[in-house]
Amino acid sequence: MIRIKNQSDFDNYTKLAKENPEAFWKEATKEFVWKKPWSKLQSGDFNDLDIKWFEDAELNITENCLDRHLKNNANKTAIIYEPNNPHEDPQQITYKQLHENVCKTANMFKDLGIKKGDVICFYMGMVPELLYGVLASARMGAIHSVVFGGFSSKALAERINDCQAKLLVTNDGSNRGNKTIALKQVANDALENTTCVKHLLVHKRTNEEFDKHELDQDWDKLFSKASSDFPAVTMKAEDPLFILYTSGSTGKPKGLMHTTAGYMTYAQYSFDNVFQMQDDSDVFWCTADIGWITGHTYFSYGPLLSGVTQVMFEGVPTWPDGGRFWEVVDKHKVSHFYTAPTAIRALEALDIELVNKHNLSSLKVLGSVGEPINEEAWQWYNKNIGKNNCPIVDTWWQTETGGIMISPLAHITEMKPCYAINPLPGIEPALVDTEGKILEANDVEGNLIIKKPWPGMARTVYGDPERYKSTYFSTYPGFYFTGDGAKRDEKGNYRIIGRVDDVINVSGHRIGTAEVENAINEHESVVESAVVGFPHEIKGQGIYAYVICTSEIKDKDKFKKQITDLVSDEIGRFAKPEKIQIVSGLPKTRSGKIMRRILRKVAEKQTDQLGDTSTLLNPEVVEEIIQGAQ
Ligand code: WT7
């Protein structure tokens, strides 16, 4: 395995990865358990898009996450489960127990008729059974598609149909602070609009009553009968491991497909080197839900591949009070803590006593992910949580990249507030101008691209290779386009600025403007709408919707509620627009394209930077929009 220990290692590995990628990835993969080792490193490029890594290898990722640790670390704690309710006892799950539970779950899925290559959809809260399910899917060669529990039944159905999932696994409900979310009801509703699902497997967590469905199966009943012997199925390196949906600039969510050996390699390599867990007693805690890529790579796979102990948390940062994260850090002696800027900003706004009453001396490394971290939040995190003594790794990556691409390495590379600093060895980013010309100099700003394939990259958009090509590889032919803008300072350090496409990042969740617009346009009084992001103190960005209506709306509050309800119904509560402005027209070019730049500037309250509006088809509408802005 590659373990970068200091700056000179870093420089040497960067050089090796560039000059002799075979040798570099050989070292990164040498401790894995292979059923058949690889002999061919990589084929395909950003033109043919037939990208393969370690193609002739055979393996099962769960043998690397579980079985290989049993020899020496069977009784080491893999998971410390911290329930939502602080009065409920935490659970310690050893590697041996995790292995057993995963095998039982795989047998249960098998008994329900699931075979290699079938898709299993998970719509669950953060309970250990979700982790068992994901790993069981990998163990039997099925493909998992985890849908975050905040999505609506329509969004869930759309995702189930797109990948033709055969099995849907859910909880009766999910505990979120002082509320429960009735997941089973949403799953029942989703099944109204799907025909591919054969069973709805329900794991009871809240024990609240729920409506039965004819496809219902009971997790506890089947699990208790299942055998704990399940030999890992042999997978080819490029067999699909999972599909994870994310929003893009157009309406339909994209199912990014990740494959087995490359994803595994990149998950462990990036986890080890970015976080630098050194002591056996170190405890990792990634606060992300498994429904997002962070919860895949740095909860379900990376830490288990490395055989460390980690926390799984069911609840929310603000319940029973805003000190919950710090209480859990103290209670479980967390050493490596990885969260999102939106959580930091929300907690920063609260009484500092909520931090100070807990002992945070176990902390060694802090991480940030999901959106640009603003300087104030970075400083607060550094001073109050890290006590000026813990490096902060600001990790830039995406659902598509599979793992961290640009980040400081804890204790090794220098830190600079708000900077993701440098690419990991093996990753070659660049900045380009709008024509696609690479900006070679430092102290520049441009669009962020990646020049060469890397093992963790998504291989396609499930069922839609054309979309994969047009989204990522057509803007700058021959390069992977990230959709982000970035700066490089005079020393070559990267700072990620944010999306340059029609994607809004709300609390670290990607929301496509087109998806929200489609939902709003379902309203019978809406003719057209345009959605942009605006700066939001806690969420990073909020959603601002401009709406044209068929006739005058008398009860504006009622109308706005109907619009937010529609978005909750079509996508989920987290995508609700915060501001809705009714307008008589939208600024358009002569060819009829909405000038979002103008709408963005109005939403950002930067109306002095509108630029030239005289070439618009309808320049007069701009003044009206400015007057009515919220
Ligand atoms: C988008 C990817 C990566 C896992 C969670 C989000 C933004 C991500 C950072 C960072 C600035 C960041 C980018 C990226 N982003 N990390 N450290 N600094 N921006 O995954 O939902 O696929 O979103 O999140 O805009 O493109 P995702």
Confidence of residue 506 (pLDDT cuts 50, 70, 90): very high
- Supply the pLDDT for residue 223: 98
What are 436's two structure tokens?
């696609």
State mean pLDDT over 260-270: 99
Where is the domain boundary, 419, 452, 486? 486
Is residue 474 domain-shared with residue 515, that is, in the same domain? no
User: Is residue 606 classed as helix, strand or coil in its secondary structure?
Assistant: coil
- CATH code where residue 69 lies: 3.40.50.12780
Query: Taking the complete model, does pTM exceed 0.85, yes or no?
Result: yes
451 in Cβ contact with 431 (< 8 Å)? no
State mean pLDDT over 183-193: 98
Q: Is 400 a residue whose pLDDT tops 90?
A: yes
559 in Cβ contact with 543 (< 8 Å)? no
Q: What is the CA(396)–ligand 1 centre distance, in A?
A: 6
Q: What is the CA(369)–ligand 1 centre distance, in A?
A: 6
484 touches ligand 1 (CB under 6 Å): yes
510 in Cβ contact with 503 (< 8 Å)? yes
Is residue 517 domain-shared with residue 582, that is, in the same domain? yes
Is residue 232 domain-shared with residue 284, that is, in the same domain? yes
Output the residue whose Cα is nearest ligand 1's atom 5.
370
Confidence of residue 30 (pLDDT cuts 50, 70, 90): very high
Q: Tell me the C-alpha distance between 166 and 468, whole Å.
A: 24
533 touches ligand 1 (CB under 6 Å): no
Q: Is 155 a residue whose pLDDT tops 80?
A: yes
pLDDT tens-digit series, residues 194-249 = 999 999 999 999 999 999 999 999 999 999 999 999 999 999 999 999 999 998 77
pLDDT tens-digit series, residues 473-486 = 999 999 999 999 99
User: Is residue 194 classed as helix, strand or coil in its secondary structure?
Assistant: coil
In a domain, 273, yes or no: yes
**Edge-to-edge strands, sheet with 199-203:** 216-218, 199-203, 167-171, 119-123, 143-146, 240-246, 254-259, 460-461
- Supply the pLDDT for residue 198: 98
Show contacts of 535-540: CB within 8 Å, 24+ apart.
535/604, 536/506, 536/578, 537/345, 537/349, 538/342, 538/345, 538/346, 538/349, 538/507, 539/342, 539/506, 539/507, 540/341, 540/342, 540/345, 540/371, 540/372, 540/505, 540/506, 540/507, 540/508
247 in Cβ contact with 512 (< 8 Å)? yes
- Supply the pLDDT for residue 252: 87
Which atom of ligand 1 sits closest to the CA of residue 420? 17
Is residue 121 domain-shared with residue 222, that is, in the same domain? yes
Which atom of ligand 1 sits closest to the CA of residue 499? 25
- C-alpha to C-alpha distances, 32 to 26, 317, 450, 509, nearest whole angstrom: 10, 36, 27, 33
Q: Taking the CB of residue 310, how many other CB atoms lie within 10 A of it?
A: 24
In a domain, 463, yes or no: yes
Q: What whole-number percentage of the chain has pLDDT above 70?
A: 100
Is residue 439 domain-shared with residue 529, that is, in the same domain? no
Q: Tell me the C-alpha distance between 603 and 601, whole Å.
A: 5
Number of domains in the chain: 2
pLDDT tens-digit series, residues 293-338 = 999 999 999 999 999 999 999 999 999 999 999 999 999 999 999 9
510, 511, 515: which to mutate for ligand 1, most atoms within 8 A of CB?
Answer: 510
- Supply the pLDDT for residue 611: 85
Output the residue whose Cα is nearest ligand 1's atom 11.
372
What DSSP state is assigned to residue 406? B
Half-sphere exposure (Cβ direction) of 204: Cα atoms closer than 13 Å: 13
Which atom of ligand 1 sits closest to the CA of residue 294? 4
Q: Tell me the C-alpha distance between 450 and 427, whole Å.
A: 7
498 touches ligand 1 (CB under 6 Å): yes
In a domain, 493, yes or no: no
Output the residue whose Cα is nearest ligand 1's atom 27.
398
Q: Is 576 a residue whose pLDDT tops 80?
A: yes
253 touches ligand 1 (CB under 6 Å): no
What are 448's two structure tokens?
């962020």
Q: Is 514 a residue whose pLDDT tops 90?
A: yes
219 in Cβ contact with 203 (< 8 Å)? yes
Cα radius of gyration rounded to whole Å, the chain? 24
In a domain, 373, yes or no: yes
Where is the domain boundary, 486, 515, 538? 486
Where is the domain boundary, 453, 486, 519? 486
Q: Tell me the C-alpha distance between 264 and 258, whole Å.
A: 10
In a domain, 491, yes or no: no
Confidence of residue 250 (pLDDT cuts 50, 70, 90): confident
Output the residue whose Cα is nearest ligand 1's atom 14.
398
State mean pLDDT over 388-413: 98
Torsion of CA 598, 600, 606, 607, to 10 degrees: 30
Render 360-388 in DSSP notation, one character per residue.
-TT--EEEEESSPPPHHHHHHIIIIISTT
Strands 309-313 and 77-82, sheet pairing:
parallel
Give the closest residue to 560 by CA, choosing from 533, 523, 509, 596: 523
In a domain, 10, yes or no: no
Q: Tell me the C-alpha distance between 230 and 417, whole Å.
A: 47
564 in Cβ contact with 574 (< 8 Å)? no
- CATH code where residue 516 lies: 3.30.300.30
Is residue 479 domain-shared with residue 515, that is, in the same domain? no
Is residue 421 domain-shared with residue 276, that is, in the same domain? yes
Mean pLDDT rounded to a whole number for the chain: 97
Is residue 548 domain-shared with residue 600, that is, in the same domain? yes
List, in order, residues 6 or more apart from 228 with CB less than 8 Å away.
100, 101, 103, 104, 107
399 touches ligand 1 (CB under 6 Å): yes
State mean pLDDT over 33-54: 98
Is residue 377 domain-shared with residue 525, that is, in the same domain? no
428 in Cβ contact with 450 (< 8 Å)? yes
| Diameter of the chain measured on Cα atoms | 73
State mean pLDDT over 351-358: 98
Render 140-185 in DSSP notation, one character per residue.
HT-EEEE--TTB-HHHHHHHHHHHT-SEEEEES-EEETTEEE-HHH
Q: Is 145 a residue whose pLDDT tops 80?
A: yes
In a domain, 2, yes or no: no
pLDDT tens-digit series, residues 521-544 = 999 999 999 999 999 999 999 999
Q: What whole-number percentage of the chain has pLDDT above 90?
A: 96
State mean pLDDT over 24-33: 98
In a domain, 266, yes or no: yes
395 touches ligand 1 (CB under 6 Å): yes
Is residue 217 domain-shared with residue 331, that is, in the same domain? yes
What are 94's two structure tokens?
């050893």
Domain of 588, in residue numbers: 507-628
Is residue 468 domain-shared with residue 515, that is, in the same domain? no
Q: Is 251 a residue whose pLDDT tops 80?
A: no
Is residue 515 domain-shared with residue 446, that is, in the same domain? no
